[in-house]
A = this chain, B = another copy of it.
Amino acid sequence: MEIAYRPIRIALLGAGSVGSQVARLLIENRDELAQRVGADLELVGIAVRNLDSARNGNLPKALLTLDAEALIKAADIVIELIGGIEPAKSYITLALNSGADVITANKALIAAHGTELFDLAEQLGAQLYFEAAVGGAIPIIRPLRESLAGDKVNKVMGIVNGTTNFILDRMASTGASFEDALAEAQQLGYAEADPTADVEGYDAASKAAILASLAFHTEMPVENVYREGISQVTALQIETAREAGYSVKLLAICERVPAIDGQPEGIVARVHPTLIPDDHPLAAVRGAYNAVFIEAESAGRLMFYGAGAGGPETASAVLGDLVGAAKRHLAGGPGIADSVHANLDILPVQAISTRFQITLQVNDLPGVLASVATVFAQHGVSVETVDQNAAGENTGALLTIMTHEAGEGELEAVVEDLRGNAAVQKVNSVIRVEGI
């Protein structure tokens, strides 16, 4: 391809693990990228907070600047890899107002302020790309926005947080407790010193909000995503699941709920530990890998699998967006445009029905099973299987109960009654089941 256009000026904001990889790839692969795009991609500067920070050691000193705003104003395309809400949001706003296209990997910002930023971009005829914000290297935004644009998505289930998948995988393969598996993840650099955002599901909830918005053409505020983390998951629970043929995964689930009883069609997004059968494709996603499983009306079952984080991996997604943005810049014309035209109702988690597995510590006496079964029946929750084992630590027995589909409200009432039942020593765990 002939290179006849002036260089396209790229500004990079942030030189952390992803930013430094993006810079490296832009510099090392400059000729190849120029061939692919049809114009030179010139990295004109890298905005950092500290010119002497060790991380920037391998980057050309001449490119580093503390003046992000001047850099933004000089660029055709701005790549935001700072993370967090501010100053990232102000920088992106400035870039769009300056006529630049923007690429970001900032899931927290897109989840919290995506609609506002997309609206601004659309008014200005600019583009905002964010493939790296969900699933790291895995192309998932583009397939949802474009490939499935003519289909109707009914459900999205994603393993979208590598830290928690690593922890649950270690607990399953070694029998470790949550605390020990977390400590190992921290030692290996898979978990932060403060792991709250990962283990309590906040990171996954941001991604669930983004996935739901794309899948259902409806704005999904992150505050409306139901969220439970994995810090309460026990080794016993994972072992009990394994024996029954299930794996425990932290899933981000977004689904369409059909209109019933006068309630209009709506959508629910939720993040919580989930049992999935071992023969489900998501059960095979090990270690820190991510995957997003989609059920669409015509396409059926699809899954996208790959590295969900990591500097080079996330940089790959950023570079993919960059090539797309640069080609659009050269040729003019529009990029991808989304709309939230469907504007479906956002329903609380109580609107869905699902299966549950409940484990109970009970007295090992005649009549206990009948007493427990009566509690389920009283609230209209149908039991599929009951499995009874001698309990390890106490006198008594361990009951593992799998229900048929039941509403959240009915299940909550069952659990409350079980806690008050004289035959029940303890409700060990309550976990939702998907993928059957």
Q: Which residue of chain B has the shortest Cβ distance to A304 in the bound complex?
A: B304
Q: How far is the CA of A307 from the CA of B301 in the complex (A)?
A: 7
Q: Which residue of chain B has the shortest Cβ distance to A334 in the bound complex?
A: B331
* A137-145, A163-171, A227-235, A360-368 - the one binding chain B: A137-145
Q: Which residue of chain B has the shortest Cβ distance to A310 in the bound complex?
A: B300
Given known A139-B143, A303-B306, A313-B299, contact A323–B131 (CB-CB < 8 A) = no
Q: Which residue of chain B has the shortest Cβ distance to A335 in the bound complex?
A: B333
Given known A150-B316, A319-B149, contact A298–B21 (CB-CB < 8 A) = yes
> Contact string, A303-339, partner B, CB cutoff 8 A, digits 1/0?
1111100101101111111111001100111100101
Q: How far is the CA of A304 from the CA of B150 in the complex (A)?
A: 19
Given known A300-B307, A315-B298, contact A337–B327 (CB-CB < 8 A) = yes
Q: Does A146 make an interface contact (CB < 8 A)?
A: yes
Q: Does A147 make an interface contact (CB < 8 A)?
A: yes
> Contact string, A283-310, partner B, CB cutoff 8 A, digits 1/0?
0100000000000111111111111001
Q: Does A244 make an interface contact (CB < 8 A)?
A: no
Residues of B within 8 A of A29 (CB): 150, 152
B299 touches A302 (CB 8 A): no
CB distance from A10 to the nearest CB of B (A): 11
B305 touches A303 (CB 8 A): yes
Our pick among B137, B305, B313, B327 for the contact of A281 (Cβ within 8 Å) is B305
Residues of B within 8 A of A150 (CB): 25, 29, 33, 36, 316, 318-323
A341 touches B299 (CB 8 A): no
Q: How far is the CA of A143 from the CA of B145 in the complex (A)?
A: 12
A312 touches B324 (CB 8 A): no
Residues of B within 8 A of A137 (CB): 296, 298-300, 302
Given known A147-B320, A320-B148, A333-B332, contact A302–B33 (CB-CB < 8 A) = no
Q: How far is the CA of A131 from the CA of B137 in the complex (A)?
A: 20
Residues of B within 8 A of A146 (CB): 139, 142, 320, 323-324
A323 touches B284 (CB 8 A): no
Residues of B within 8 A of A9 (CB): none
A327 touches B316 (CB 8 A): no
Our pick among B25, B36, B300 for the contact of A339 (Cβ within 8 Å) is B36
Our pick among B131, B299, B307, B317 for the contact of A316 (Cβ within 8 Å) is B299
Q: Which residue of chain B has the shortest Cβ distance to A320 in the bound complex?
A: B147
30 contacts between A and B (CB under 8 A): A21-B298, A25-B150, A25-B298, A36-B341, A131-B147, A139-B142, A139-B143, A139-B147, A142-B143, A143-B143, A146-B320, A149-B324, A150-B319, A150-B321, A296-B316, A297-B316, A298-B312, A298-B316, A299-B307, A299-B316, A300-B307, A300-B313, A302-B304, A302-B307, A303-B304, A303-B305, A327-B337, A328-B333, A331-B337, A333-B334
On A, residues with C-beta under 8 Å from B are 1, 21, 25, 29, 32-33, 35-36, 131, 137-139, 142-143, 146-152, 217, 281, 284, 296-307, 310, 312-313, 315-324, 327-328, 331-334, 337, 339, 341-342
Query: Ordered nearest first, which 3 A-B pairs have the shortest CB separation?
Result: A333-B333, A150-B319, A139-B147
